């Protein structure tokens, strides 16, 4: 049977019995079910968790089995997860495709149109990994964000050092390496003597103690040391949060 719409009406019988759809919004979701199961086939629901469970209850009452929704921003994620937990089949569809299917009447709401397309098997779901993979990806994305935030504070530390004319970045390949961090922590702790700071040189550092000593003769103004201190503290905070992510990944996805 052809899966086409003409004049706003399907040419074949529905293939997805119990199909529903949701027009996802930031503050309100419009949901549509089969008009044959209720006098109010299109209803509005809020976005609070209680509202989403009420939506799921309504779907259950109406005999809904499968729900289609557009993957709009991040607003679809809690809806998807709650409906999936409640036992519904949920498919994500491309909003552009749904809007471009011909045959829609002007008085049909977005949710009702999406439900109609879904009921006739005209929607192709986007890939959605299973729950374990989705969780893993969420942790990895969070860790990537933390890496970006930490990198910004590395730049702030380097800026504070340069403002004091401490040429640390010229004598170490990475200021967050062993030599760089030991020297920065010593400066933050109050050390100002180049001879003493140079002794924090790691044995693997290519620069000599003499070169490092010369690079650490600077103008230790309080405001620049203060900026360096805060940047170091924030850098350490994000490093600790990254470690939390690593532990979470290890504990949740360890192989038995």
CATH code of 5-128, in short, is 3.30.420.110
Q: Please list the rounded mean pLDDT of every run of 10 residues in the chain (256 residues).
A: 47 84 95 95 97 98 96 88 95 77 68 93 77 84 96 98 97 96 98 97 95 97 98 98 94 63
pTM: 0.69
Contacts of 116 (CB under 8 A, 6+ apart): 5, 10, 108
DSSP secondary structure letter of residue 203: T
Non-local CB neighbours of 202 within 8 Å, separated by 6+ positions: 177, 178, 179, 182
Model pLDDT, residue 108:
66
Q: How many helices (H) and strands (E) does the chain have?
A: 10, 7
pLDDT for the residue 6: 43
Instruction: Considering only CA atoms, give the Rg of the chain.
Output: 29
- Residue 74 is predicted with a pLDDT of 86
DSSP-based helix, strand, coil % in the chain, nearest 5: 50, 10, 40
Q: What backbone phi and psi angles, to 5 degrees, belong to 90?
A: -125, 130
- For 53-91, letters b (16+ CB in 10 Å) and e give eebbebbeebebebbbbbbbeebbeebbebbeebebebb
pLDDT of residue 73: 82
Distances (CA, A) of 33 to 95, 192, 239: 19, 72, 48
Q: Where are the domains of the chain?
A: 5-128, 138-252
């Amino acid at each position: 049977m052809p899966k086409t719409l003409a004049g706003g009406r399907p040419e074949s019988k529905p293939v997805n019995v119990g199909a529903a759809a949701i027009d996802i919004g930031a503050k309100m979701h419009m949901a549509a079910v089969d008009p044959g199961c209720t006098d109010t086939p299109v209803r509005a629901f809020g976005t609070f968790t209680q509202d989403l469970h009420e939506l799921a209850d309504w779907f259950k009452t109406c005999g809904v089995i499968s729900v289609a929704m557009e993957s709009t921003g991040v607003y679809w994620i809690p809806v998807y997860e709650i409906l999936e937990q409640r036992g519904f089949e949920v498919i994500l569809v491309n909003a552009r495709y749904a809007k471009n299917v011909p045959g829609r009447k002007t008085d049909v709401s977005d949710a009702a149109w999406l439900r109609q397309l879904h009921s006739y098997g005209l929607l192709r779901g986007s890939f959605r990994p299973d729950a374990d993979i989705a969780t893993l990806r969420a942790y990895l994305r969070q860790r990537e964000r933390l890496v970006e935030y930490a990198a910004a504070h590395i730049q702030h530390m380097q800026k504070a050092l340069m403002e004091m004319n401490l040429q640390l970045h010229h004598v170490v390949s990475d200021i967050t390496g062993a030599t760089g961090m030991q020297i920065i922590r010593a400066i933050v702790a109050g050390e100002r003597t180049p001879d003493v700071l140079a002794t924090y040189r790691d044995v693997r550092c290519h620069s000599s103690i003499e070169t490092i000593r010369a690079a650490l003769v600077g103008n230790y103004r309080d405001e620049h040391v203060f900026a360096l201190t805060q940047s170091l503290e924030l850098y350490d905070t994000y490093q600790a949060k990254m470690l939390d992510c690593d532990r979470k990944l290890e504990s949740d996805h360890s192989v038995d």
